[in-house]
Structure 1
Amino acid sequence: MAVSALIRSVMTGVLAGSALVLGVVAAADPARAESIRVLVGQDVALLTVRSEGDVAVITETGDTKVLHPPLQVSARKEGLEVNGRHLSGGYILIRPVMSQLSLKMSKEEGQRSGNGGFTGSAQGAELSVSGALRILHKGRLLSAVNQLDLEEYVKGVVPSEVNSAWHPEMLKVQAVAARTYALYNKMLSGGREYDVVATTQDQVYRGRSGVDRRVEEAVESTRGIVVTYQRAPIYAAFSSTAAGPTEDAVNVWANKDLPYLKGVECPFDLDSPYYQWKANVKVEQLEQSLRRQGFSIGTVATITPILYSRAGRVARLRILHSNGETVLRGEDLRKAVGYTVIPSTQFEVESMGAEVVFTGYGAGHAVGLCQWGAKELAELGYSYDSILQYYYPGTELHQVASTQVLAPPTLPAP
C-alpha cells in the first residue's frame, strides 16, 4: 500500500468523530486562568536578574522591597543575599513592575557545565521570561522557579520543541499537547516546589526565546484546550520521530499502562532527519557510562538484543562481560550512554571492536504524539484535533474550564 493511501486509511476513523469533539470545544466556557511553576535553574551559584523597570522583591516573611535591577542573588549558609544584602527566609519572589525578567545563571567554578543544569540554554546565556521568579535557598546554592500564566508557558514550549516555521496546524498540535502535559503534571506535583522542569525531563522551555507571531496565534487559537480521557487531562507524551509504530507507554514506563498511550501506525515521518541513524560508541566509554548508572560491568565482550517490543524496539539486551552477564532495558542503555548518542531503542548492534556500532531508526521514546508524523499530517490537511485524537486514541478535546480537572489515577511505582 502506498504511503498516501495508508495515511488516508489510518486517519479515516479519526476524522469521522472529530466534528463532534470540536463542537464540545467551541461551546465550552472560556478557560479559567491557570498558572504553572517551571524549574528553570538548579545548583546555581550566582543569579543575575535584569528588567527594564523596577522589580518588587518579596521575602518569605512577607517583607517587600522595590529595587532597580540588575540584581545579583547568591546563597550563603545563613540565607540569600541580594546585591550583597542579606534577606531573611528560605526564598524570595521577584516580580517585575512593568516588563519581563531576564535571567543569567552561573555555576561555581569546577562544576560541570550547564546553565544551572536546567534551562536548556548555554552556560551564561540570558533567559527572558514572563511572570515572576521564585529563588530558593538550597544550602550554598540556588534553585530558580519561573511562576507564570500557563498560556505564556505554552508559548515558550512550542518553539523550543518544534520549528515555528512548521505548518500552523502542527503548531496548534504542539500547543495543545504541551498545555495538557503541563496541567497533568501540575495536578500531580503535590508538595513539590515546581510543577515541571524546563528540559526534556519534561518539555523544553526557553522563556520568550523564539516566540513569534505564528507561535502566538497557535497558542491563542487553542487557548485553554486540553486532551482528555474520561474528562481528565491526559499524560500527553510526545517525541520527535517514531520511524514505525508508536510505542505502548508501559514498555517505556512500567507505571504508565494507559489506555490512550497504546501504539498506533505511524508511516508519516519519513522526512525526519532522525528517521535513520548510526552511532559509534567507544567500548571503554560505554563501560564507564554503565558503571555510573550503577551496573557492575567489567570488560564488555558482546551486546545482544534479546527481547523486542510489539513495535520492534529493544526491550531487553544482554551484555556479556568479564564480571559475568548483565541484562538491562534498552532505555537503560540510552540513559547511560546519552539520549542524543543513541536516539532511540529501535536499533541493532552492527559490529563490535574498539567501538560498538549501533544502527537504528527514530528519535525519542516514541510514546504518544510523533512530532514529525504530526507535521506531515498537518501538511496533508488534517486538523490539529484529528491529529491529536489519532496519536492519543480514545481521547477528546475540552476547554480546561469544562473539564472536572480530575487528578489522574495514582499509579503504582515501577
Structure 2
Amino acid sequence: MNITVVRPGDLGDAEKSRWRELQKADPSLDNPFLSVEFTLAMGRLRDYVHVAIVEDAGQLTGFFPYERHAFGIGRPLGGFLTTCHGLISVPGLELEAKALLRACGLNVFGFDHMVAGQPTFAPYETDVRPAAVMDFTSGYEAWLEQVKRNSAKNLKTWRYKERKLAREHGDLRLSWASTDPAELGRLLAWKSDQYRRTGRVDRFAQPWIVRLTEQMHAEQSADFAGVLTMLYAGDVPVAGHFGLRTATTLVGWFPAYDTEFGKYSPGIVHHLQMAEAAAGAGLHMVDMGKGGKDYKHWLQSGTLHVSEGRLSRPSAAAAVHWIGRVPFNKARTIVTDSPSLYRAADRVLKGFGRMRSTRGQESGTREPSGAR
C-alpha cells in the first residue's frame, strides 16, 4: 500500500472521478463536506490543505483530505466550518494510523465530526454522538407525522405562527435553490449580526470564508451544489439558509433570519417549508448535525453518528496539542450534547454579545442590523 500527498489542485481527472465513484458507493460518505468539489474549493483558498492518495496494487483505494498546520498539527478539512470528515475509500479500508500520519507529515490529528466507525480511526474514537436528520425516504408526509409525534404542541404553535406571519405580512413564498448573489449577501449579513449579537465569533469577518461561501453558491451540478433558500412574506425576505448537497443529502450550514420578524419564529417556519421543498426536489434527507439545539430534536426523524477522537505520534507538538485542546473539546461536547446546558451557555454568550454591542455604541460605533 502506497500513500502520496498532493495539493487538491494537483488531482487529475482520473483521481477526481475515482473520488466521486468511491463516495457514491458508500452511503456513510453521502455528505457534501466529503465531496471532492469542497476539497478543491478549500485548496484554492487555503495553502495548508492537502490530500493523501492511497494506492494498493496500482489501484486508487482512498483519499484523505486534511489541513496541515505549523508543527505538524493536523486538522479536519474546513475545521470548525464543517460537520463531517473522514477517509473517502473502498469499504472497510484500514490504514495503519501512525503510518498515515507520517505520510501526511503530521504529529497529531484531532477530529470531532468523523464518520463513525471508519476502521482507520475507530480505535482512536473517544466519543460517538448522534447527528439529527430530517429523513424523507418514506416521503414528506411521513416525516411530518414524525414531527407531530415528537411534539404535537410545538408543531401546532409553528403552524399558527406561519399563518399569522402570512396574514400580517403577505403570502409566504419559499425561493428554493436561488442563484441570486444578492440573496446570499443578505443571508450572510443576517448571520454576521447573529454571531455578534449572541457573543460568537463572526465567521464572515474572515474574507476567505465569504469567498468560500460564494464559490460554493456558484457550484451547480447533479452530484454537488450550494443550495440557497429564502422565505418571503409578501415581497419581504424574512429567513433563509445556505447549505451544500450531494445528489440525495442536504447539509445544514448557515441558517439565519431577520430579527424584526422574530416573534413569528421565522427560522422554524423556514425549516418547515424548506423540508417540503427538499423532499419535493428528490432529496432523501437534511442533515442538521450534532448538538443540543432544541429545534433539531423537534424536527428530526432519524440520526447519523459522528465521532470525536485524536491520534498522534510521540512528539512535543502532540503533547502541547493535548494540553491545549483535549480538555476543551470534552467540555464543549458535554455542553452541546445537552439541550439544557446548551441553553444556559447560549444565555451567557448572548449576554456577552449585548455587552459588546453596548460598548461599541458607547465608543461611537454602530452595530449593523443584519436585516438590510
TM-score by length of 1: 0.21
TM-score by length of 2: 0.23
Q: Which has the higher contact order (CA 8 A, sep 6+)?
A: 2
Q: As a proportion of its length, which structure holds more helix?
A: 2
Q: As a proportion of its length, which structure holds more strand?
A: 1
